[in-house]
DNA sequence: GTTTTTACCGAAAACGTTTTCGATAAACTT
DNA sequence: AAGTTTATCGAAAACGTTTTCGGTAAAAAC
């Protein structure tokens, strides 16, 4: 019933604990005969080294922590998948915690992970996070930290993000390439970096094509919900009757917009083209299907873990770590809500 | 840089390790003065007990393992969320692993968790799992096991599942209650238990209302995709012109069906009512919004962890454990694709 | 036959806790 | 004043590893 230990193997075999330990790890100073003996008994006893004891001795837990704002979210679950698969590859396990977009909870989760002596932490910040001392505490404890997606530039560590500005540029450019001349933008709140960057990409694309930037075409949303998509589409149609394209900050809002346009029998993309952002699953299912920017969550997870892994390794070897900023390229998924080229 | 230890606190304060340990845990045989001293120093040094050392001493890792077929899935991510939040409440951390619906991988993940000496394991089986010796190994190692969602009746442990048959009964009953008389059913493949149970619930509801069961109204799908939803709707309309309701095995297919009906300008729910299963997010966003059966993933996660927790506790206290079978009640989400009562 | 090498093994410390069991001194009893 | 209680602390073992450093015997070398 109780798991077997080195001691058990040692005593039943009339050996010392050290010899058993070394036999199992193929040390050269153990004879082949005893190695065989030890390994066989270990097999039949179903011996597994006690992880806590190993960690205590070797100082590494082979475990990392992951803190995200919300598990039930297509993008984040893709990230999780990427991280888990990559971590498994390197023999690491992943403890997942959720901040629920709350700063307080985020702090608490970080605390838990530090207590657990994880070898590293991957984090995507909660919206509410305004102070970063808890993250500095992580670094101070000698734990490697890598931020992804929702980051804070001020924290000194490696980061993996999406090149939001370029993605937004490309999306807007695609609208222009397919003939749109009056392009509106539904943007997110003023503070989050990605909402800013997407707006800047939109603006840059206009200017790059000698299309005048008209601030009245930019609508600032708050909740980023389906309902807001409907509402601001109504507003937009009321304010401007010459719109032929909308670049929308996120797919859910875009779907709200499409629903509203459908209701009014406005033809997509013949009259108005729509392009979204994130490539939610339902975007391929709505009618018409939604062209959008694909956020490579899986890749982001993989990259983030790889970075973390490298830094953990370097730290162990006592080498210096130079923090990196990785910007992932996005790609555009062309569907039926924009015209073909 | 290095995390503080009891020893450090002890030496700088001129105390013994034991006293420091006891001071931090408010043992009665430590004076208030030294307690204060110790706690203050611990605070400033940012002392955290080394989890590995504690585990080694106390035999519990305060960590559980979770093995699921696929992370990127709305239902499973809800389950994950439920488990994590409940676990956090009890001071447990959750290590998540993925089987990718592969039996081999599932075995490997279980191995990893056993090595890690988790206190318990929660698992939803991969489709490919045909042998259960790896799960018996878990029990033999003294690790508590609870299965949920996709279970194997043959394995002797507690289980948490959804009452698919009753859910399907209720869904069909709702169609009948709102006036449907000729109700079709799009079912899943022949083998999975839930697909069987949902079919049986459908059939039972018909008989319960003296509606004759007509096998030609039951369509067996395979991929359970959006496209199949469209395809079989066409078939259904071709075969039967008197249909006034469809109970569909899963929301994605239902959305395919709605799309097809919309295209043909068949009014939902006036001409045909639709009810789905699973309550995917997009069901609240499609037009018309889809009535469906809500699978309480979050609740299932919570319940599963609670069960696991109780059994871990009992095992620790040396008490006997009586395995339970929990069947979770589903509820129907009424939206616009079915008529109001 | 003595020395040197080689092959094999074990003792012991260390990782950071928790907890039992004394030990000491001060404070009470009577 | 002697015994008894109370308050406060520390020594030490234990949890299960890993790894260094010797130690012994057999084999090899001279």
- What DSSP string runs through B284-304? GTSSSPPBEEE--HHHHHHHH
pLDDT of A1 strictly over 70: no
Check CB contact under 8 Å for B1 and A142: yes
The pLDDT value given to residue B1: 66
Q: With an 8 Å Cβ cutoff, is B287 touching chain A?
A: yes
Alpha carbon A170 to chain centroid, angstroms: 21
Q: How far apart are CA A249 and CA B69, in angstroms?
A: 32
Q: Which of B154, B116, B149 is nearest to B135 (CA)?
A: B154
Q: Name the residue among B90, B75, B114 with its Cα closest to residue B330.
A: B75
> Which of the pair, A123 or B129, is modelled with greater confidence?
A123
Query: Which CATH superfamily hosts domain A62-161+298-329?
Result: Response regulator (3.40.50.2300)
- Among candidates A1, A77, A112 on the partner chain, residue whose Cβ is nearest the Cβ of B77: A77
Cβ of residue A10 near strand D, that is under 7 Å? no
Give mean pLDDT, residues B182-200: 91
Q: B134: which chain A residues are within 8 Å (Cβ-Cβ)?
A: none
pLDDT band, very low/low/confident/very high, at A238 (cuts 50, 70, 90): very high
Mean pLDDT of A199-225: 96
Tokens of B72: 């990127």
| Predicted pLDDT at A97 | 95
Question: Which overall architecture, per CATH, does domain A164-295 show?
Answer: 3-Layer(aba) Sandwich (3.40)
Domain boundaries, chain B: 6-49, 61-161+298-328, 164-295
Q: What does the longest C-alpha to C-alpha distance in chain A come to?
A: 90
Residues 6+ apart with CB under 8 A from B312: B119, B120, B144
Which tokens sit at A323? 């923090």
Mean pLDDT computed over B151-178? 94
**Which nucleotide is at minimal CA–C1' distance from B50?**
C16
CA A112/CA A118 separation, integer angstroms = 10
Supply φ then ψ for residue A117, to 5 degrees.
50, 50
**Predicted local confidence at residue A81, as pLDDT:** 96
> pLDDT at position B131, please?
87
Best B96, B99, B278 residue to mutate vs chain A (most A CBs within 10 Å): B96
Q: What is the mean pLDDT of residues A115-122?
A: 90
Measured CA to CA, the distance from residue B266 to residue B232 in angstroms comes to 15
Which residues are paired to B285 by β-bridges? none
Distance from CA of B31 to the nearest CA of A (A): 27
CA distance B250 to chain A (A): 14
Above 90 in pLDDT, residue B193?
no
Find the helix or strand (DSSP H, E) in which B219 lies: strand B218-220
Which nucleotides on chain D have any atom < 7 A from a protein Cβ? 7-22
pLDDT band at residue B74, thresholds of 50, 70 and 90? confident
- Asked if A25 contacts A57 with a C-beta cutoff of 8 angstroms, the reply is no
Question: Closest Cα of chain B to A214: distance in Å?
Answer: 31
Note the pLDDT of residue A91. Answer: 87
The superfamily in CATH containing domain B61-161+298-328 is: Response regulator (3.40.50.2300)
Residues of A in contact with B84 (CB under 8 A): 71, 96-98
- Please check whether the two domains, B61-161+298-328 and B164-295, share a CATH topology: yes
| C-beta atoms surrounding A267 within 10 Å | 10
Angstrom distances, CA of residue B66 to CA of A94, A219, A283, B70, B71: 11, 43, 30, 11, 11
* pLDDT value of position A197: 94
CA–CA dist B239, B243 (Å, integer): 10
Two structure tokens written together for A95: 């403890």
Please give the full DSSP string across A153-217, using - where no structure is assigned: TTS-SEEEEE-HHHHHHHHHHHHHHTT--SEEEEE--SSSHHHHHHHHHHHHHHHHTTPPP-GGG
């Amino acid at each position: 019933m109780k798991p077997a230990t080195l001691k058990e193997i040692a005593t039943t075999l009339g050996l010392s604990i050290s010899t058993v330990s070394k036999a199992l790890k193929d040390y050269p100073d153990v004879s082949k005969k005893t190695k065989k003996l030890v390994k066989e008994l270990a097999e039949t006893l179903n011996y597994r080294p006690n992880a806590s004891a190993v960690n205590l001795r070797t100082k590494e837990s082979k475990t990392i922590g992951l803190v995200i704002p919300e598990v039930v979210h297509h993008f984040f679950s893709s990230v999780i998948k990427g991280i888990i698969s990559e971590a498994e590859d390197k023999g690491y396990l992943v403890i997942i915690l959720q901040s629920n977009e709350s700063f307080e909870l985020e702090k608490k989760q970080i605390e838990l992970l530090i207590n657990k002596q994880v070898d590293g932490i991957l984090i995507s910040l909660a919206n509410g996070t305004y102070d970063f001392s808890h993250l500095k505490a992580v670094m101070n404890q000698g734990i490697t930290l890598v931020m992804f997606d929702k980051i804070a530039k001020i924290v000194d560590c490696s980061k993996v993000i999406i090149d939001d500005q370029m993605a937004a540029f490309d999306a807007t450019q695609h609208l222009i390439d397919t003939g749109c001349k009056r392009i509106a933008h539904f943007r997110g709140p003023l503070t989050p970096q990605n909402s800013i960057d997407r707006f800047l990409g939109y603006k840059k694309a206009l200017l790059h094509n000698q299309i005048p930037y008209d601030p009245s075409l930019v609508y600032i949303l708050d909740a980023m919900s389906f309902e807001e998509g409907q509402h601001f589409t109504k507003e937009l149609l009321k304010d401007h009757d010459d719109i032929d394209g909308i670049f929308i900050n996120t797919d859910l809002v875009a779907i709200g917009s499409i629903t509203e346009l459908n209701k009014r029998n406005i033809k997509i993309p013949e009259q108005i083209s729509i392009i979204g952002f994130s490539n939610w699953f339902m975007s391929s299912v709505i009618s018409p299907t939604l062209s959008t920017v694909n956020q490579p969550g899986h890749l982001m997870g993989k990259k983030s873990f790889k970075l973390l892994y490298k830094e953990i390794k370097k730290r162990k070897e006592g080498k210096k770590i130079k923090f990196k900023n990785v910007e992932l390229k996005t790609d555009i998924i062309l569907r039926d809500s924009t015209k073909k080229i």
